[in-house]
């Protein structure tokens, strides 16, 4: 069933749903792009793995259900003069680390296997200031900028830090940045709000070749329908992160006119 929203469904941004959304949209973008670039190009999925330790600020966005509340249990009023042996005491001995797996798309030339374009879908960890995931993402970003490879960044999350920019970015809830190798340091930026349909963005290839369009709106519709999110999302709960008051009332109207399947 289609989403109540014309573009990005803000309820899909929640930390419990986003990992599945991220994995699904990567696969769907690949599916949509392949017919436009074959037989000259192959679209691959590259997976990267990194670890968040207990101090990483991105942990609460990645594994919110792992939060632990410590309680102190009052002891007896009259303590014995001497302490006996401690038996069976549970103590945290090993640092709790969380392994994060993320994917991106690589467009390669079939003729010589060279990398032509990288397509990234930003994650909460990529957008959390001071996190290991953000540091690693920015290192990969700089690596692409120093190469003749094009970069396409797609940010479907309202929360967190925007991609770094020397000039102010246009306003909007969501963003796509197309960085053509031959036009750096300037890049083409698309922004849209939660009320707007997602745009179709160009995917740069070799110089002189037509740039196929990647329909983000179609991709988001397929993510929602194939994932069955109409059965999973509880629209009676506030979205994460919260919407502005005027957008929240608009969203409530959209949901009220939307019929959930029986």
Please compute the mean of the pLDDT values over residues 49-69 and round it to a whole number. 49
Distance CA 81, CA 74 (A): 18
Q: What is the DSSP string of 108-153?
A: EETTT--EEEEEEE--TTTTSTT-HHHHHHHHHHHHHHTTT-EEEE
Residue 31 within any structural domain of the chain = yes
Comparison of pLDDT for 44 and 131, the residue scoring more: 44
Which residue range forms the structural domain that includes residue 149?
10-62+95-256
Q: Is residue 14 part of a domain?
A: yes
How many Å apart are CA 101 and CA 86, to the nearest integer? 40
pLDDT score, position 70: 36
Q: What is the pLDDT of residue 170?
A: 95
Q: Is the pLDDT of residue 142 over 90?
A: yes
pLDDT at residue 48 is higher than 80? no
| pLDDT tens per residue, range 170-184 | 999 999 999 999 999
Over residues 254-258, mean pLDDT: 94
Q: Does residue 4 form part of some domain?
A: no
Instruction: For residue 127, count CB atoms less than 10 angstroms from its CB and return exposed for 0-12, middle for 13-18, buried for 19 or more.
Output: buried
Domains contained in the chain, number: 1
- pLDDT tens digits for 73-126? 444 445 555 556 656 666 555 455 656 668 999 999 999 999 999 999 999 988
pLDDT > 90: percent of the chain: 70
Nearest to 32 by CA among 196, 222, 205, 179: 222
Identify the pLDDT of residue 62: 56
Q: What is the pLDDT of residue 80?
A: 54
Asked if residue 203 lies in contact with residue 214, where contact means CB atoms within 8 angstroms, the answer is: yes
Residue 103 inside a domain? The answer is yes
Of the pLDDT bands very low, low, confident and very high (cuts 50, 70, 90), residue 134 is confident
126-135, 140-149, 238-247, 250-259: which range is least confident on average? 126-135
Mean pLDDT, to the nearest integer, of 21-40?
97
Does residue 209 lie within any of the structural domains? yes
pLDDT score for 57: 52
| C-alpha distances in Å from residue 189, one per residue of 67, 90, 96, 167 | 37, 52, 39, 11
From the centroid of its chain, how far is CA 218? 17
More confident residue, 84 or 44: 44
Find, among 152, 61, 143, 69, the residue nearest to 100 by Cα: 61
pLDDT, position 189: 97
Q: Is residue 250 part of a domain?
A: yes
Q: What is the pLDDT of residue 110?
A: 97
Q: Decide if 119 is inside a domain.
A: yes
Q: What average pLDDT does the structure give for the chain?
A: 86
What is the Cα–Cα distance from 119 to 179, expressed in whole angstroms?
10
Residue 82 lies inside a defined structural domain of this protein: no
190 pLDDT band, cuts 50/70/90, is very high
pLDDT of residue 206: 96
**What stretch of H or E contains 218?**
helix 216-227
């Amino acid at each position: 069933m289609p989403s109540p929203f014309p573009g990005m469904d803000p309820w899909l941004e929640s930390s419990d749903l986003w990992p599945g959304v991220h994995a699904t949209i990567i696969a769907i973008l690949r599916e949509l792009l392949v017919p436009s670039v074959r037989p000259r190009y192959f679209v691959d999925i590259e997976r990267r793995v990194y670890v968040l330790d207990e101090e990483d600020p991105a942990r609460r966005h990645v594994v919110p259900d792992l939060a632990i509340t410590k309680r102190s249990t009052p002891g007896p009023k009259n303590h014995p003069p001497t302490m006996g042996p401690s038996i069976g005491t549970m103590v945290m001995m090993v640092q709790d680390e969380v392994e994060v797996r993320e994917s991106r798309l690589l467009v390669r030339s079939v003729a010589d296997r060279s990398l032509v374009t990288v397509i990234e879908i930003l994650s909460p960890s990529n957008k959390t200031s001071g996190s290991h995931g953000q540091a690693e993402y920015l290192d990969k970003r700089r690596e692409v900028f120093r190469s003749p490879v094009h970069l396409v960044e797609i940010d479907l999350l309202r929360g967190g830090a925007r991609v770094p920019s020397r000039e102010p970015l246009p306003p909007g809830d969501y963003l796509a940045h197309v960085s053509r190798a031959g036009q750096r340091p300037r890049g083409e930026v698309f922004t849209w709000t939660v009320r707007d349909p997602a745009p179709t963005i160009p995917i740069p290839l070799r110089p002189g070749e037509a740039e196929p369009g990647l329909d983000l709106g179609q991709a988001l519709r397929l993510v929602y329908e194939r994932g069955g999110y109409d059965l999973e999302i509880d629209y009676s709960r506030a979205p994460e992160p919260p919407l502005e008051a005027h957008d929240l009332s608009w969203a409530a109207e959209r949901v009220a006119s939307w019929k959930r399947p029986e």
